[in-house]
Structure 1
Amino acid sequence: MLSINHIEIEIPKNRIAIMDLEKETQLSKPMLSVYSMIYGLKTIPVLEQGDLQSFITIPLKKLLDYCHDKTKIKYLIFVHTTAILHPFGYSLLTILKEKYKLNSAILFEMTMQKCASYFKALEILTVLLKNNPDYYAIVITGEVAFTPLLRVVPGSSIVGDAATASLLSCDGFDNQMLSISNHLMSGYAKGIYLSDSEIKTFDSKFIQSMLEIICDALNKAKITLDKINLILPHNVNLPTWRKIAIALNFSIEKIYLDNIPKYGHTFCSDHIINLHSALLENRLKKGDYYLMTGCGMGFYLAAAVFIY
């Protein structure tokens, strides 16, 4: 059974108030007030110095310090939302592999599912590690919103910078994944370039589609929603999760929303950051069930059930 053995996160200490992001977002003050007052976003972390490589190296190095036997690391995976992060021919993973002497690691990146790509990596690793219980995989997330186009999810959220690293295997005892579901809502491949009418159509289907992916993951895990102690969402905005909570008839107090005002949306890193925060705050105890769920532009929906 696939499990998340250890996680590390890196969030820039530099925080910028949403109302001070006119230049970074190219949004007007009145529009920024909508994101702040209605969507519940207050600040986002913004990387001031350094590049993407040095940024994602921070949680990776901490994770490798935890992992005592690097020869067991079979896969090094980088999941990200932005399709192109490097110049052509530049292999970030190859540089990291050589730097940390991960000689046994097979490298690949994933981006097709956008901000839900972490879930697809989990699904793939259930196959890759199933017959290799002695091996580990590392999944890295991390991006810097270097243009206003990346800093804003129109009508939804504002994006902060963050990076994470996860160590996974099939022989762990905590954070065992009981099920996973990934689904493509076809017809919305243009993402942020959808027309107003297409966005309206998507919005009319989104809540029901999220309910369906959550229920599918629960059915695969053979448990009911009332057994879930905590939902770890993608940090899109507060109103969306209030609507989902009502539709699920699920207590909003059991959906971890504390990081939305502090960090905004952080591409593929939301779920690991939320898990890290929930564990630090003792929101989960041994034997608790929790559910990660989220959405990626395109639109990709995902949900996974874990037992801590």
Structure 2
Amino acid sequence: MGGHTTLERIESYLPERSIRIEELGDHLGLRRAELGVFRKFYGLDTLRFDPDTHLFDLLRPAARRALSALPEGARVAYLVYAHTTQAVAPADVDVAQVVRDDLGLPGTEAFGLSHQACVSSLGGIDVVGELLRAEAEEGAYALMITGERAYSPIVQHVPNTAIMADAAAACLVTLDGAGDRVRSFVTRTLGEYAKWLELTPEQNTQFGERYGERIAEVIHEAVDQAGLSFEDIELVIPHNVNMLAWRQTIKVLDVPREKVFLDNVPRYSHTFASDVFVNYTTLRDEGRLVDGAHYVMVSVGLGATFGAMVITHRKRATA
């Protein structure tokens, strides 16, 4: 079965508890000067972080709201839980299957997807789109969910890069639906940076110096594959890694600062695989997504994978 992948509903969820990054200083072992760098140069201010929130409490709200767009009688063939860190729950807990059962989706094939870190969410959309084309019955749907707790200082603080926050998201996906059309998806993995915490200072410097160039290459390739030019793109919807990285990327892209949506970097900081959807729903809820316009969703995962997905927004699907 052919057909175009469409995103019928995108939802996100953020815990209510908001804190300033300085409140995490002791927890993360960061000195005042280091926190000052995150604030002044990386552009961080507040983030959502609630240690009392259980993983499944984080995942449920966005998933349930996304499923509310499921037509009566329609079947969810697949549920994919796209996650960044390899261990998100005890070894005997299959998160995807627990969420499937919690959502009341008997018969849905549920599985996890990782190994592309924060790009796993975009990759999850691509995977379920291919599965729907290859083997699902006509009119079937898939649900891609994201969400992880920043449960340890080791995973919450990415040295010289980011402070991770709590968030979750969900995308209801089908073929040839009325939602946003996925026009292309491109990834590039640079395996020489796979052992992120063990990189030499020289490798870290090299990666940082070419970071913007590599994102720009993937963005342009995705736009080309979508049959568009960059002038056709209304806005880049990025992950929230930090302002410094995106200033570098904007310079390489040679576009106005307003072409990349960065309002949520100081509000929410970086979140595991959920950033682009948090940013999408912010734009949607503020009435800033244009019917028929093209957008590029961009993320980068440690390891290092760069990903870009071009979509065409159709307003009726998110009304």
Question: Do the structures match in fold with TM over 0.5?
Answer: yes
Q: CA deviation at 1:21?
A: 1.3
Q: CA deviation at 1:71?
A: 5.0
Q: Which moved more, 1:268-277 or 1:13-22?
A: 13-22
Q: Indicate conservation of the 8 Å contact 1:14/1:48, yes or no.
A: no
Q: Indicate conservation of the 8 Å contact 2:238/2:298, yes or no.
A: yes
Alignment of 1:2 onto 2:2? no
TM-score (norm 1): 0.96
Q: CA deviation at 1:243?
A: 1.6
Q: CA deviation at 1:278?
A: 0.9
The RMSD of aligned alpha carbons is 1.5
Aligned-pair identity in percent equals 29
Alignment of 1:191 onto 2:196? yes
Deviations 1:106-130 (A, max 9, x none): 1110110001111211221231122
Q: Structure 1: which 5+ residue stretches go unaligned?
A: none
Letter of the structure 2 residue corresponding to residue 295 of structure 1:
V
Corresponding pairs, count: 308
Alignment of 1:240 onto 2:257? no
Match for residue 282 of structure 2?
277
Q: Which moved more, 1:224-233 or 1:52-61?
A: 52-61
Q: Indicate conservation of the 8 Å contact 2:97/2:111, yes or no.
A: no
Alignment of 1:254 onto 2:266? no
- Measured in 2, the distance between the counterparts of 1:20 and 1:167 equals 36
Alignment of 1:19 onto 2:10? no
Q: Indicate conservation of the 8 Å contact 2:234/2:293, yes or no.
A: yes
Alignment of 1:94 onto 2:104? no
Tell me the secondary structure at the aligned position of residue 154 of structure 2: helix
- Measured in 1, the distance between the counterparts of 2:257 and 2:215 equals 15
Deviations 1:209-256 (A, max 9, x none): 111111110110111001100100110111211121121111111211
Letter of the structure 2 residue corresponding to residue 180 of structure 1:
F
Tell me the secondary structure at the aligned position of residue 191 of structure 2: coil
- Measured in 2, the distance between the counterparts of 1:300 and 1:250 equals 23
Alignment of 1:177 onto 2:182? yes
Letter of the structure 2 residue corresponding to residue 102 of structure 1:
L
- Measured in 1, the distance between the counterparts of 2:261 and 2:73 equals 33
Q: CA deviation at 1:70?
A: 6.5
Q: CA deviation at 1:92?
A: 2.2
TM-score (norm 2): 0.92
- Measured in 2, the distance between the counterparts of 1:53 and 1:61 equals 12
List aligned pairs for 1:47-62, cutoff 5 A.
47-62=50-65
Match for residue 216 of structure 2?
211
Q: Indicate conservation of the 8 Å contact 1:192/1:297, yes or no.
A: no
Aligned with residue 121 of structure 1, among 120, 124, 145: 124
- Measured in 1, the distance between the counterparts of 2:53 and 2:223 equals 41
Deviations 1:63-91 (A, max 9, x none): 23332446510000101111011112212
Cα distance, 1:280–1:100 mapped onto 2, change above 3 Å: closer
Match for residue 223 of structure 1?
228
Match for residue 317 of structure 2?
none
Match for residue 78 of structure 1?
81
Q: CA deviation at 1:287?
A: 0.8
Q: Structure 2: which 5+ residue stretches go unaligned?
A: 314-319
